[in-house]
Amino acid sequence: MQKCLLTLLLCFIGVYARAQYQVSGTVMDQTGETLIGATIREVGDNNNGTITDFNGKYTIKVSKKNAQLSVSYVGYEDQTVSVQGKTIVDIVLKTSEQTLEEVVVVGYGTQKKESVTGAITSVNQKVLKQTPVANITNALVGKVTGLTAIQQSGEPGYDGATIFVRGKATFTGSTNPLILVDGVERSFGDIDANEIESVSILKDASATAVYGVRGANGVVLVTTKRGEVGAPKVSLTYSYGVQTPTRLTKYCDSYDVLTLFEEGLSNDGKSSQYTPETIAKYRDRSNPTYQYLYPNVDWTEELLKDNTGQMQANVNVSGGGSLFRYFVSVGYMNQDGIYKYSDMSEYNTNAKMERYNFRTNIDVDIRKDVKLMLNLGGIIQDLNFPGTSASDLFYAIKTRLPYYYPMTNPDGSIAEYANSEGNPYAMLTKTGYAANKSTTLNATAGVTWDMSRLITQGLSLTARLSFDADNYRNVSRSRGYNAYKFSIAETETDLSKGTYANVRTGSEALGYGVTANGTRYTLLEAMLNYSRSFGEHNVTGLLMYNQSSKLIDATDAIKGLPFRKQGIVGRVTYNYAGKYFGEFNMGYNGSENFIQGHRMGFFPAVSLSYVLSEENFLKNTSWLDLLKFRFSYGLVGNDDNGSRFLYQSQWTTGWKTYTFGHTGNGLNLGGAGVYSTGNESVTWEKAKKLNIGLDLDLWKSAIHLTVDVFHERRTDILCTPGTIPSTIGVTSLPSINAGIVTNKGFEIELEHRKNFRNWGYSVKGNFSYAKNKIISADEPDNVDKPWQRRAGTSIDEMYGYIAEGLFQTWDEINDPDIAKTTASNLQPGDIRYKDLNGDGVINDDDRGYLGKNSTPDKIVGLALSGNWKNFDFSVLFQAALGGNTWFTGSAIWPFESKASVSQDVLNNYWSTNNTAEQNANVFYPRLSSDHSDNNYIESTYWLKSSDYLRLKNVEIGYRLPKSVNKFLGVEELRFYANAVNLITWDHMKIFDPESPNGAVNYPQMKVFNFGVHVSF
């Protein structure tokens, strides 16, 4: 009996001993941030587990010294570690591939994806780097919902896109979203993509209310990389790309242009200027003089390259320990232009951009409860251009007649005629050059004090100070040139016998002009953060004060005054059991731009979400991962109205012609008058926003769906009073807050992904729709002309005549019941317009809003990606729908202002030489030898849809096997090729659909890029 009792006692002691081996430690991520609520379990005993506290610390009793711990946390890779007899085991979790989807950057903080109640979408660095562009704004469109991006130029240094969040909701104020880089207002287009961790788009009031008076147009948050705990990691990236225009308009040669010109002269009732024999000589090169006497210059072919290069390189280093972490990056970008003849002088006349990017982000843990952070960034950019601007140069290239004069004379001098327009070749190579240099430096320093031990658990205090300085120095070295008219008998074969007459005289010495200025921006922030869990109740809070001051490059004393803002930010969140979420956000802020006593505003927002998938009856289903419903409503503002101090009246002396009196010496004393009347009631725009959303994840995130429906009512939009008659005698009426706009739409994102042993794939589609409507614009009722009322139309709606096709016969021309313009020489082949007021005459009273917008209201993206063994690929299709462009101007209208003719006109215009069937199917009206008062005006006839579908991006990559990497002494070596803007399907055909009205822009570019990435 005693032996049995002894045996039982020893067993009990053994079991007790095994259960009493205690292990403690801290769980943190790669940046050294502690993870709250991470789960730690003993492998083999699922009942033995714990979670980390607010400081990321845990304590667990395991059964043996060599036990293993399984550690898991949402958004991070599960990890198993061996205790190996240690009593303290610190654990660093690596972020999973879905980290940026699981942890979302929000205003002044981060939240888990499950706890987000607002409308936020984000994209990570991997996706951004797949698009080989110099300006990062061009890498976003089609990849996130709610974002519209329009790129109207490919000129180096000026190729950034204009972006909108959920379309436009104001017709007076700025429509640009607030851009913040690491929490500070900064531009982000020139940042190196290798520096960026993520880009988040904040769209609804819940997400943007903390920005108060600046949150109405949405917010773009750019987060740069930070150091991770671990050994130093060095990454090098090098790529070289070939740029070529997406599309260049082709123009007719001299023979075709003159043939068409003769037909235009005939239509205009003018005498012929060129015989068929003379026209034929413009193609005949049997005699050497014909090249100069009968020139045939393709200005596009002569002055523009088929392709040019761009190069990018980056090296960055990151690493650190639990006390010190760092990320350091240096980048270089070189982008050449497409102009030829850049080496003809001692200076470069090609467009070129060189950019140097620097960034250092440092985190230091001074004590367990005190952390310092320091962000330093810099961008140095050197731009070079010819002495003639890109718009003037491309206008000349696209409009100059091919027979006007040769590019050069036989002796190499510039060829022109007396009083002729400038030679495009001379404009490119003989007008000097411009060198623009800019430097951007920014710095942010901050300290965070964890006051959990001092006051209460979960409380911390953060203070940050940011300083930015942007400076530029633009040097213009302009010059003139001499031009000559070459004359010679056309039968002469010796070109040296020709004579030269000077027709233009200019100084060929380089002038010198310089403009230099800069901006300075300071931001001070102090915030209290609170985060704590009470069982299944989780509470967070934020209270922050901020103030900023900005001095800009100003041209007058008023604009030179500092732009100052200050405010208070608040946020309270609550969730119960990860199931019910509530959030209140507010901003109380303003600026000096409004009258004292009316400078501050309160902008609250509330949001709720319900995670139905956390209910017991759904929680353990194998097919449902997440089903969440979201709701938000709030008020935000927009104080960027483009003007300063509108509450003040501005006076001037010498007003009009009024004489106040005379001085003793007979000089008149002019009167004083108000040239700008102030309005002390002027205020910011107010936007009330409603958002309803759905998030759904199925089959372990194999399928993901996000749907958002939104409605916005924007009020207090600035208007020039249109209902006050001029008879009151005020010549400059003050702006008033009378405009109202509604903006509504929806967004859908659907993704399917699957991974297998050696391969995987992903298909992701997104669709965004935003439609606005002007409710009020303080305008006359226009009862007799409702088509001219702005109310009921959309922002950016096109304005002009409604075309009803072409006159086909003289009977239609002579029919008194058909309204016509008062243009002379009206004849078949001219455009026919709709008589809106029925008075029998087409005039300005018949112009009106056309129901077509210049800005697309629908954005579509379809991304395909996959991997097989060491290969990976990605493809992005992107579309923009609902936009329109004026197909107008000298680059399009034949012979407008003595302009050239595109090849699109050939066999595509109304002519008496055509059959009736042919004339019914042509696009261009009958030809005129110069401007046509009837045809060359803005109407629906010249309104073209700018809808397009692009093969926006393609990338294929290959990673060397690990065995080869080990032999080479590298961690990873990847070769890749990618391209952007490969193929475009659209209605334009002759120029890029994103081109501005008239299409005299530097062309958008497609890029074929090859690169290598290596990390150590």
Q: How confident is the model at residue 11 (pLDDT cuts 50, 70, 90)?
A: very low
Give the mean pLDDT of 841-860.
Answer: 95
Give the mean pLDDT of 637-661.
Answer: 77
Give the mean pLDDT of 394-412.
Answer: 96
Q: Say yes or no to pLDDT of 647 above 50.
A: yes
Check residue 1 and give its pLDDT: 44
Check residue 479 and give its pLDDT: 94
Q: How confident is the model at residue 660 (pLDDT cuts 50, 70, 90)?
A: low
Check residue 832 and give its pLDDT: 97
Check residue 770 and give its pLDDT: 97
d(CA 839, CA 953): 53
Give pLDDT tens digits for 526-557. 999 999 999 889 999 999 999 999 998 877 77
Give pLDDT tens digits for 708-750. 999 999 999 999 888 877 667 666 788 899 999 999 999 999 9
d(CA 201, CA 164): 10
Check residue 35 and give its pLDDT: 79
Give pLDDT tens digits for 862-883. 999 999 999 999 999 999 999 9
d(CA 168, CA 179): 16
The two three-digit tokens of residue 872, written as one number:
């990976």
Element (H, E) at 789: none
Q: Which amino acid is at 894?
A: P
d(CA 487, CA 296): 17
Q: How confident is the model at residue 75 (pLDDT cuts 50, 70, 90)?
A: low
Q: Say yes or no to pLDDT of 17 above 50.
A: no
Q: Say yes or no to pLDDT of 79 above 90.
A: no
d(CA 304, CA 526): 54
Phi, psi of 348 (to 5 degrees): -90, 130
d(CA 995, CA 998): 8
Q: How confident is the model at residue 13 (pLDDT cuts 50, 70, 90)?
A: very low
Closest CA to 222 of 322, 140, 292, 334: 140
d(CA 25, CA 57): 6
Q: Which residue has the higher pLDDT, 591 or 283?
A: 283
3-class DSSP state of 553: coil
Burial label for 642, CB within 10 Å (0-12, 13-18, 19+), is exposed
Q: How confident is the model at residue 5 (pLDDT cuts 50, 70, 90)?
A: very low
Mean pLDDT of the chain, nearest integer: 91
Q: Under the phi-then-psi rule, with left for phi > 0, alpha for psi from -120 to 50, and beta for the rest, what region is 101?
A: alpha
Work out the angle at residue 938's Cα, subtended by the Cα atoms of residues 934 and 942, and round it to the nearest 5 degrees: 95
Q: How confident is the model at residue 12 (pLDDT cuts 50, 70, 90)?
A: very low
* Residue bearing tokens 């023979």: 255
793: Cβ–Cβ under 8 A, 6 or more apart, which residues? 773, 774, 849, 851
Max Cα-Cα span within the chain: 137
Counting other chains too, the contacts that 833-838 makes at CB distance below 8 Å and 24 or more residues apart are 833/801, 833/802, 833/803, 833/804, 833/939, 834/801, 834/802, 834/803, 834/804, 836/785, 836/787, 836/802, 837/784, 837/785
**Buried b / exposed e along 91-119 (16+ C-beta atoms within 10 A):** bbbebeebbbbbbbbbbbbebebbbbbbb
Check residue 645 and give its pLDDT: 86
Check residue 680 and give its pLDDT: 87
d(CA 573, CA 582): 6
Give pLDDT tens digits for 956-1000. 999 999 889 888 989 899 999 999 999 999 998 899 999 999 989
Please check whether residue 220 is in contact with residue 184, taking contact to mean a CB–CB distance below 8 angstroms: no
Query: Based on C-alpha coordinates, what's the Rg of the chain?
Result: 34
> Where does 471-611 have alpha helices with state H?
none
Check residue 15 and give its pLDDT: 41
The proportion of the chain whose per-residue pLDDT surpasses 90, expressed as a percent, equals: 73
Check residue 674 and give its pLDDT: 73
* Residue bearing tokens 């010679």: 488
Phi, psi of 687 (to 5 degrees): -125, 120
Check residue 666 and give its pLDDT: 65
Check residue 556 and give its pLDDT: 78
Give the mean pLDDT of 257-267.
Answer: 96
Please check whether residue 48 is in contact with residue 40, taking contact to mean a CB–CB distance below 8 angstroms: no
Check residue 18 and give its pLDDT: 42
Give pLDDT tens digits for 762-787. 999 999 999 999 999 988 888 789 99
Q: How confident is the model at residue 109 (pLDDT cuts 50, 70, 90)?
A: confident
Q: Which residue segments constitute the domains of the chain, with CATH numbers given?
A: 21-92 (2.60.40.1120), 800-853 (no CATH)
* β-bridge pairing 162-165 and 685-698: unpaired
| 689 CB neighbour count, 10 Å cutoff | 29
21-28, strands of its sheet edge to edge:
57-62, 21-28, 91-92
Q: Which residue has the higher pLDDT, 397 or 643?
A: 397
| 248 CB neighbour count, 10 Å cutoff | 19
Check residue 318 and give its pLDDT: 94
Give pLDDT tens digits for 471-524. 999 999 999 999 999 999 999 999 999 999 999 999 989 999 999 999 999 999
Q: Say yes or no to pLDDT of 298 above 70.
A: yes
Give pLDDT tens digits for 332-382. 999 999 999 988 778 999 999 999 999 999 999 999 899 999 999 999 999
| 516 CB neighbour count, 10 Å cutoff | 11
Give pLDDT tens digits for 427-476. 999 999 999 999 999 999 999 999 999 999 999 999 999 999 999 999 99
Q: Say yes or no to pLDDT of 8 above 70.
A: no
